[in-house]
């Protein structure tokens, strides 16, 4: 697989070479495009395009502030007019698989895994294979620098996921070592997206017990929900601000104000981590993510959420206050 770094906002064009995996026959475009990010849905969808939809196409990965090339089909980008988006009900991966009628057992199982990882935050129990893929994906990012992983490494990772699923067709556990974790990080003479640029400000992880203790002590804790407004309105942490990553600007830190913790979150904190790091770089103090991760970690711990598909704001606030004063509400 080759990578040519292009200046002017384009991080990489990847030639989507064929593999030994089964390939579909539907071809729709010369270029599929997305903006660099950290979520598994994005990179699993890129893998799906490259391995099942059109192996002759290119994958264009651009800086978050750049514009897609004319004629490119965008995916996993809420600013673009495309059907291939993650919503509160389906992943971008599912959208592509259904659009192209990809009836392959590996694709179907990958659909379930990505759905559990990036959409179904209310599910407290996930399959062992989903847990292993999430563990492997986080390991890939941690061992290579979360914001330094080149696009082709993500494609190789999901190649290894597909091979592991193929070798374990009954949903049983597979060795974590079966998943690719090492990759060559981009050299420093290549242009990198803003999201990939290194910074001395790292992002800490704070346990839910510590977050609740801070609230109980009267400290200021600001939750920043980075999901889309439609997802936020359905269910969110009580009192959270809704600020998608694309809306981050020079006024955001002032809007958040001084805080003892600025807790960014999404479903499992892949986007949450990205926002937390950007906020730290922009000057926000005490920018962190939660552990267990994201809204899924919050809900699975027995904490309340507000929204049109959840509790009213007043009731969610009341239950959270009760939980702050009585930690027995936490599911362990």
Q: What pTM, to 2 d.p., does this model score?
A: 0.78
CA–CA separation, 124 vs 131, rounded Å? Answer: 12
Among 64, 10, 75, smallest CA distance to 278 is for 64
Whether residue 192 is predicted with pLDDT greater than 80 in this model: the reply is no
On whether the CB atoms of residues 327 and 210 are closer than 8 A, the answer is no
CA–CA separation, 35 vs 192, rounded Å? Answer: 12
Rounded-to-10 torsion of CA 198, 200, 203, 204: 150
What domains sit in the chain, N to C, each tagged with a CATH number?
3-195 (no CATH), 199-329 (3.40.250.10)
- Please list the residues that pair with 157 across neighbouring strands: none
On whether the CB atoms of residues 119 and 292 are closer than 8 A, the answer is no
What is residue 23's predicted lDDT score, i.e. its pLDDT? 34
User: Mean pLDDT lowest for which of 30-34, 143-147, 189-193?
Assistant: 189-193
On whether the CB atoms of residues 14 and 152 are closer than 8 A, the answer is yes
Q: What average pLDDT does this structure show over 267-296?
A: 92
Rounded-to-10 torsion of CA 133, 291, 320, 300: 30
Q: What is the pLDDT of residues 26-47, one digit of tens each?
A: 345 689 999 999 999 999 999 9
Q: Is 32 helix (H, G, I), strand (E, B) or coil?
A: strand
CA–CA separation, 288 vs 83, rounded Å? Answer: 32
Within the chain, strands assigned E span 3-4, 10-15, 31-35, 58-62, 73-74, 204-207, 221-225, 241-242, 261-265, 287-291
Residue 113 belongs to what H/E stretch?
Answer: helix 105-118
CA–CA separation, 298 vs 331, rounded Å? Answer: 10
The answer for 233, left when phi > 0, alpha when psi is -120 to 50, beta otherwise, is: alpha
Q: What average pLDDT does this structure show over 249-272?
A: 94
Structure tokens at 3: 């990578």
**Rounded to the nearest 10 degrees, what angle do helices 105-118 and 40-48 cross at?**
160
48 by Cβ neighbours in 10 Å (0-12 / 13-18 / 19+) ranks as: buried
Q: What average pLDDT does this structure show over 85-113?
A: 94
User: Mean pLDDT lowest for which of 18-27, 38-47, 199-208, 279-288?
Assistant: 18-27
The whole-angstrom distance between residue 123's C-alpha and the CA centroid of its chain comes to 17
Whether residue 185 is predicted with pLDDT greater than 80 in this model: the reply is no
Q: Given pLDDT bands bounded at 50, 70 and 90, which one contains residue 146?
A: confident
Place of tokens 């994906």: 137
On whether the CB atoms of residues 243 and 252 are closer than 8 A, the answer is yes
User: Mean pLDDT lowest for which of 9-23, 180-194, 217-231?
Assistant: 9-23
Q: Is 93 helix (H, G, I), strand (E, B) or coil?
A: helix
Percent of the chain having pLDDT more than 70?
Answer: 84
Angle CA(262)–CA(151)–CA(20) in degrees, nearest 5? 135
Rounded-to-10 torsion of CA 13, 15, 108, 37: -20
User: Mean pLDDT lowest for which of 46-50, 61-65, 185-189, 304-308?
Assistant: 185-189
What is residue 319's predicted lDDT score, i.e. its pLDDT? 94
Angle CA(117)–CA(119)–CA(125) in degrees, nearest 5? 55
Whether residue 282 is predicted with pLDDT greater than 70 in this model: the reply is yes
Q: What average pLDDT does this structure show over 86-91?
A: 88
The whole-angstrom distance between residue 213's C-alpha and the CA centroid of its chain comes to 28
CA–CA separation, 272 vs 225, rounded Å? Answer: 8
């Amino acid at each position: 697989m080759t990578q040519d770094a292009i200046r002017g906002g384009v991080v990489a064009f990847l030639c989507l070479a064929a593999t030994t995996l089964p390939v579909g026959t539907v071809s729709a475009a010369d270029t599929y495009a997305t903006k660099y990010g950290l979520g598994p849905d994005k990179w699993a969808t890129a893998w799906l395009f490259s391995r099942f939809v059109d192996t002759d196409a290119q994958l264009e990965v651009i800086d978050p502030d750049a514009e897609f090339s004319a004629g490119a089909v965008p995916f996993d980008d809420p600013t673009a007019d495309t059907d291939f988006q993650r919503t509160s009900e389906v992943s971008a991966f599912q959208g592509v698989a259904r659009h192209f009628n990809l009836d392959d057992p590996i694709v179907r199982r990958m659909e379930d895994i990505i759905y559990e990882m990036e959409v179904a935050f209310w599910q407290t129990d996930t399959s062992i294979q989903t847990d292993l893929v999430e563990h492997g994906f986080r390991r890939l990012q941690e061992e290579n620098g979360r914001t330094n992983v080149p696009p082709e490494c993500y494609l190789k990772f999901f190649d290894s996921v597909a091979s592991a699923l193929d070798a374990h067709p009954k949903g049983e556990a597979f060795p974590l070592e079966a998943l690719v974790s090492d990759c060559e990080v981009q050299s420093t003479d290549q242009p990198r997206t803003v999201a990939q640029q290194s910074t001395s400000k790292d992002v800490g992880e704070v346990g839910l017990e510590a977050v609740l203790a801070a609230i109980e002590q009267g400290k200021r804790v600001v939750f920043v929900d980075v999901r889309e407004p439609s997802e936020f309105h359905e269910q969110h942490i009580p009192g959270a601000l809704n600020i998608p990553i694309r809306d981050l600007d020079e006024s955001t830190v002032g809007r958040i104000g001084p805080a003892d913790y600025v807790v960014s979150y999404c479903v499992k904190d892949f986007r949450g981590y990205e926002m937390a790091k950007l906020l730290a770089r922009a000057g926000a103090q005490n920018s962190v993510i939660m552990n267990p991760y994201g809204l899924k970690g919050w809900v699975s711990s027995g904490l309340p959420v507000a929204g049109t598909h959840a509790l009213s704001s007043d009731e969610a606030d009341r239950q959270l206050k009760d939980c702050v004063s009585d930690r027995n509400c936490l599911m362990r």
